[in-house]
Amino acid sequence: IIIFRNVFRRITLSANVASSISSNDVLVDKVQQLINNHKVIIFSKTFCPYCIKAKEILGRYKLHDYKIVELDEIPNGNEYQNILEKIIDAKTVPRIFIDGKCIGGCDDTLILHRNGDLEKILKQINTI
């Protein structure tokens, strides 16, 4: 799927990123583990209308491995968001990862859902 390749970005922590946030090594590892250990994960905030919409879209699928991280409800949520910015060059929420790759935010998820590609991707990774 061409859109799959165009929309998804591999998530890797380069040495530069890791060293630039070395004081948060534990949190960097935690964020990376969350991304790698769940087929679908959304970094969200409970009050954000875009996050609510993205969770609504994802909620339409019966996902087997789906994690929601509400950054406004966890200690160090702001640091998590800063780490996400270093990893994917985007600080806004929601940030949705599927199979370790960032698909973007709410608008990107909505586009993939509307054109049927989100369902195809989720089936490819056996999470629906």
Tell me, what CATH number does 13's domain have?
3.40.30.10
Per residue of the chain (128 residues), give pLDDT as tens.
Answer: 555 544 454 444 444 444 444 557 899 999 999 999 999 999 999 999 999 999 999 999 999 999 999 999 999 999 999 999 999 999 999 999 999 999 999 999 999 999 999 999 999 999 99
Angle at 52 between CA 89 and CA 99, to 5 degrees: 50
What pLDDT was estimated at residue 11? Answer: 42
The number of folded domains in the chain is 1
Domain range for 39 is 2-124
Q: Compute the CA torsion angle 51, 7, 2, 123 (nearest 10 deg).
A: -40
